[in-house]
Structure 1
Amino acid sequence: MTNKAATKSTMWEFLQSLGKTFMLPVALLAFSGILLGVGSSLSSSAIREAIPFLDNTLLQYLFMWMTKIGLVAFIYLPVMFAIAIPLGLAREEKGVAAFAGFVGYAAFNLAINFYLTVANVLGDPAASKAYGVKSIIGIESIDTGILGAVLVGIIVAKLHIRFYTFKMPDALAFFGGARFVPIISAITLGVVGVLIPFVWPYFAAGINGIGNLIASAGAFGPMLFGTGERLLLPIGLHHILVALVRFTEAGGTMAVCGETVSGALNIFYSELACAETNGFTPEVTAFLSQGKMPAFLGGLPGAALAMYHCAKPENRSKIKALLISGVVACVVGGITEPLEFLFLFVAPALYFIHAILTGIGFMVMGLLDVTIGNTDGNIIDFLVFGVLQGTATKWYLVPVVAAAWFAVYYGVFKFAILKFNLKTPGREVDTAEVDSELEAAFINESGKGAAILKALGGKDNITSLDNCITRLRLTVDNMDLVDADKLKAYGALGVVKLDAHSLQVVIGTQVHLVKNEMQALMTATAS
């Protein structure tokens, strides 16, 4: 029984950590998308005719440069995943893990190339098309996309954990330790690459099946995606669903500028960069930023206002800054957790309604044929990929729908909070017993990490520590030592206990500072 629990805990920890590693390339992708969007829109003939000032050689060179640089994440996205996954999963020698990720990905594709050469596929255009042959980092290989890169990243990460301290015989000691990781990665992925042509058609068929299922759902496909993403967010597994739709055949496959492109976000960026396309495909953007905008730009701010009005009058001044910062993070940054975790734990039913309304937002924007892409659903995406791309995107419908969502969220949240006496911020009675010494340290600029560390049971109770955008991700030895009330008293927005050993503590956008302070304290006390 104990072994079974340990296995489940390890799998939870692995899936959470894997989802977190996706954030590094995705963050670059979001920024690159903004460069690409601004550069391509301001260099278009329509914009130059409308704003003659922009039809300037130097400015047009600048916009062209932005467009080219914006393509970096799109063109090299798979190799970035292959590097980022071992980098994120490694606990020691992270640089070696990242280097081994690139070596493994290159060996993987060279081994596929070996098979294609021996099987005489490369010399046969029909066979090459059937296998989906494409130039991958300069190698003629099967286009395994993000799935192939994730497979490489996971294998390299596992090899790194197993071999970065590997001891070789004295005569070969130079090749031992961390140096052995890229060596064993090249050998292992060289073998895996030879096997890929035999098994890849089955993987591709499975992903295509998911894509066909979503497509067959019609207008409900984006709704299922949007609702599913919100429901998976509290346990940190939403990144996996999002990556599947954004970067694989599950998000659709289209020919853009003579190239076959798979994944909703990949297709959108291809259409954005292709001078031959006129507008964007609604069936693609239905899974992207536009679907989030009703909830992010209207709904959640409405929920925040409802929580403010439902707070006790004497507490409203205390929670105003918390709610305003949450709204700013949501509207400007597309980061919703600081608001969502204010009601997730005190009113799970409200969070479920929020997930459904978010999904309906995806569906409505799709039915209205709005075509605003990218990843974040914030005001920046609205301006860059909506307004700047012209009225063909139907950006003018976003404020209308967002206003309707604001009214619905405000009404639903206010009714539910008052009707069921939900303890949202400003309504609860604080009964947590907080250590006075640690509370004083927390109030005095530093010490938040120390307070949270103690509430987690001390450094000896923590077996792994990491963070994502807004939360600490931990594995603890004894969950009974974790004091959720004290964590909330020290400023945590929520505590998610996933199983007997894995938990997440929602801190907010400054979580990395808390994590760094905790790590420094743990390292100092260990030495």
Structure 2
Amino acid sequence: MKKTKAALWEFLQGLGKTFMLPVALLAFCGIMLGIGSSLSSEAVTDNLTFLQGQGFHIVFTWMANTGLVAFNFLPVLFAMAIPLGLAREDKGVAAFSGFVGFAAMNLAVNFFLTARGVDLEDEKEIAHYGIADVLGVQSIDTGLLGAVAVGIIVAVLHRRFRAQRMPDALAFFGGLRFVPIVSALVLSIAGLLIPIVWPVFNSWITAVGRGIGHTGVFGPFFFGMGEVLLRPVGLHHILVAMFRFTDVGGSGAVCGDQVSGALNMFYAQLNCSSAPNADVTSATHFLSQGKMAAYLGGLPGAALAMYHCAKRAMRPEIKALLISGVVACVVGGITEPLEFLFLFIAPWLYLIHAVLVGLGFLTAAVLGVFIGNTDGNVIDWLVFGVLQGTTTKWYLVPVIAGVWFAVYYFLFRWAIKRFDLKTPGREDDDPADEADDTEEAAADEDASAEDGKAPELVAGQYDPAAILAAIGGADNITSLDNCITRLRMTVEDADRLDEARLKKLGAVGVIKLDQQTVQVIIGPQVQSVKDAIAKLLPVG
């Protein structure tokens, strides 16, 4: 039972991690689309007449069109990214097979609909089946859910058949070549089932979306709070993706096209010259404007409170830590480096933080702020708020953020003082710790002397060899991966991790989901740290 639970946790974490590749592209494309569409729109060029030049128009139109690549091909990107992320070897074959399986599924759907004599142009049939153009094929638009299903199936097939042996007469089709072949066969069969089950499933999704819609502004409140509460275990990506890309986040007509998912609707509206309708504005309540209260104001206020509550002698040492966390939050929309400074010390304070984030979503919805995209950082505010004009009500964001800054600052300062929370810079001095530090430093110097060179640091801060030793050594790591801010590992024994040592080496925190599943929160440099550690692991 424990192994099954650990395997499920590992799978869900891995699945959430695979979303990051297309989401990162989506964030970049969203910025391209936001800048291009805003600076080429009549509303902006009428006020900034120098932008009416043909050169500017061509450049900004090109930017807008480039930004559409992630929006127009989002499902197939997920269908490729999921097996790519879940595969441990031969990732290129896994991604290729994801595309093959996605195409085979949609061609099979088209075959079924055509064989049944379904009129692909009839509005009632289109509404019943959800018919849409998918990669140039008239199929059923299963959206992100269909893409995720394809990705998972292909990942399982890849793991099972990547070393498949065939009879001598068919040996050419064995091994890695068999993976896209079996993916096409299995997904083609699955495609024949979709027209039978999807109409029912689609109605369920629609009902969920309508149920959340009936909660009004409280829908965004529960969404924002839920995202924060799921973040410590790394499962928030799944919740977020559901609202961004499916009917759960809203659906409606945008410039004559039926669009589902809050982020899909927002991007479609960016490329539409008409004013946003009620469906679009209500959908964006689940997007970045809801985060801005906490990201641009609240968490920086919490960081300042932790700085002021630190011992004066320790303030110079923690300043860099807090500043880097604030920059990651405000500029990058990455909150873990600050959140994990108090999550493990005072989980109840993290719960209050989650409620305040939810209230930020609710406040933005009530005031009608209309700034979409994904990150909730200052770039989103500038590109999707300020540059889009006053209809976005971007001018309310600094006011809301200022209020949240004050609330977080006084709340955290009171809580830290009242309950003597050991936030950075308030740890008790322990002579034994100082002795341990001296011994560890000496050991590191001895190891470096044996190698004949100083340890190579990642980003001038992280020592991968020392981090690997604190994890328990190479023999303690079964699998190693990372998401945006944390190392995700399966280990032989979680008790072998030296949490205190990891924190001294720059880790923000350590999460032990069970005795084999562990996460080490590093921060924005986690990819470089993971790559450096991977080089120290034995091959094979």
Question: Does the aligned pair in 2 maintain the 1:5–1:500 contact within 8 Å?
Answer: no
Residues 215-294 of structure 1 correspond to what in structure 2 (within 5 A)?
A: 215-278=213-276, 281-294=280-293
Q: In the TM superposition, what whole-angstrom CA distance separates every residue of 1:369-428 from its partner, at most 9, and x where no partner exists?
A: 110100000000000100011011111000000000000000000000000000000001
Q: In the TM superposition, what whole-angstrom CA distance separates every residue of 1:28-60 from its partner, at most 9, and x where no partner exists?
A: 111111111111111111211111111101100
Deviates more, 1:462-471 or 1:476-485: 476-485
1:340 and 1:279 mapped to 2: Cα distance? 36
- Relative to the length of structure 2, the TM-score reads 0.94
Q: In the TM superposition, what whole-angstrom CA distance separates every residue of 1:200-244 from its partner, at most 9, and x where no partner exists?
A: 123222322321221121111100000000000010000000000
The residue number in structure 1 matching 2:451 is none
The residue number in structure 2 matching 1:364 is 363
Question: Does the aligned pair in 1 maintain the 2:120–2:138 contact within 8 Å?
Answer: no
Paired residue type of 1:310: C
Paired residue type of 1:485: A
Paired residue type of 2:213: A
The residue number in structure 2 matching 1:325 is 324
Paired residue type of 2:441: S
Paired residue type of 1:165: A
The runs of 5 or more residues in structure 2 that have no matched partner are: 449-453
2:109 and 2:443 mapped to 1: Cα distance? 58
Question: How many angstroms does 1:122 deviate by?
Answer: 3.4
2:211 and 2:471 mapped to 1: Cα distance? 43
1:464 and 1:226 mapped to 2: Cα distance? 31
1:259 and 1:171 mapped to 2: Cα distance? 51
Q: In the TM superposition, what whole-angstrom CA distance separates every residue of 1:127-148 from its partner, at most 9, and x where no partner exists?
A: 2332111110011100100100
The residue number in structure 1 matching 2:418 is 419
The residue number in structure 2 matching 1:129 is 127
Paired residue type of 2:257: E
Asked if 1:115 corresponds to 2:109, the answer is no
Question: Does the aligned pair in 2 maintain the 1:104–1:182 contact within 8 Å?
Answer: yes
The residue number in structure 2 matching 1:52 is 49
1:458 and 1:267 mapped to 2: Cα distance? 47
2:333 and 2:119 mapped to 1: Cα distance? 44
Question: How many angstroms does 1:123 deviate by?
Answer: 5.0
The residue number in structure 2 matching 1:464 is 479
1:279 and 1:320 mapped to 2: Cα distance? 46
| SS of residue paired to 2:323 | helix
The 1:239–1:278 alpha-carbon spacing in structure 2 relative to 1, beyond 3 Å, is closer
The 1:238–1:500 alpha-carbon spacing in structure 2 relative to 1, beyond 3 Å, is same
2:408 and 2:70 mapped to 1: Cα distance? 36
The residue number in structure 2 matching 1:153 is 151
The residue number in structure 1 matching 2:21 is 24
The residue number in structure 1 matching 2:96 is 99
Question: Does the aligned pair in 2 maintain the 1:438–1:450 contact within 8 Å?
Answer: no
Question: How many angstroms does 1:484 deviate by?
Answer: 1.4
Question: Does the aligned pair in 1 maintain the 2:131–2:138 contact within 8 Å?
Answer: yes
The residue number in structure 1 matching 2:310 is 311
Question: How many angstroms does 1:91 deviate by?
Answer: 0.3
Q: In the TM superposition, what whole-angstrom CA distance separates every residue of 1:148-172 from its partner, at most 9, and x where no partner exists?
A: 0000000000000111111111221
| SS of residue paired to 2:30 | helix
Deviates more, 1:265-274 or 1:125-134: 125-134
Asked if 1:213 corresponds to 2:211, the answer is yes
The residue number in structure 1 matching 2:491 is 476
2:35 and 2:386 mapped to 1: Cα distance? 11
Paired residue type of 2:427: E
The residue number in structure 2 matching 1:500 is 515
The residue number in structure 2 matching 1:198 is 196
2:443 and 2:266 mapped to 1: Cα distance? 50
2:527 and 2:429 mapped to 1: Cα distance? 27
Alignment equivalent of 1:42, drawn from 35, 39, 42: 39
| SS of residue paired to 1:333 | coil
2:195 and 2:511 mapped to 1: Cα distance? 41
Paired residue type of 2:111: F
The residue number in structure 1 matching 2:441 is 436
Paired residue type of 1:406: F
1:480 and 1:294 mapped to 2: Cα distance? 38
Question: How many angstroms does 1:124 deviate by?
Answer: 6.0
The 1:286–1:17 alpha-carbon spacing in structure 2 relative to 1, beyond 3 Å, is same
Q: In the TM superposition, what whole-angstrom CA distance separates every residue of 1:321-369 from its partner, at most 9, and x where no partner exists?
A: 1111111111111111111111111111111111100000000000001
Question: How many angstroms does 1:459 deviate by?
Answer: 1.2
Give the share of equivalent positions with the same residue, in percent. Answer: 61
Alignment equivalent of 2:505, drawn from 487, 490, 506: 490
Paired residue type of 1:232: L
Question: Does the aligned pair in 1 maintain the 2:251–2:283 contact within 8 Å?
Answer: no
2:500 and 2:218 mapped to 1: Cα distance? 40
The 1:80–1:430 alpha-carbon spacing in structure 2 relative to 1, beyond 3 Å, is farther
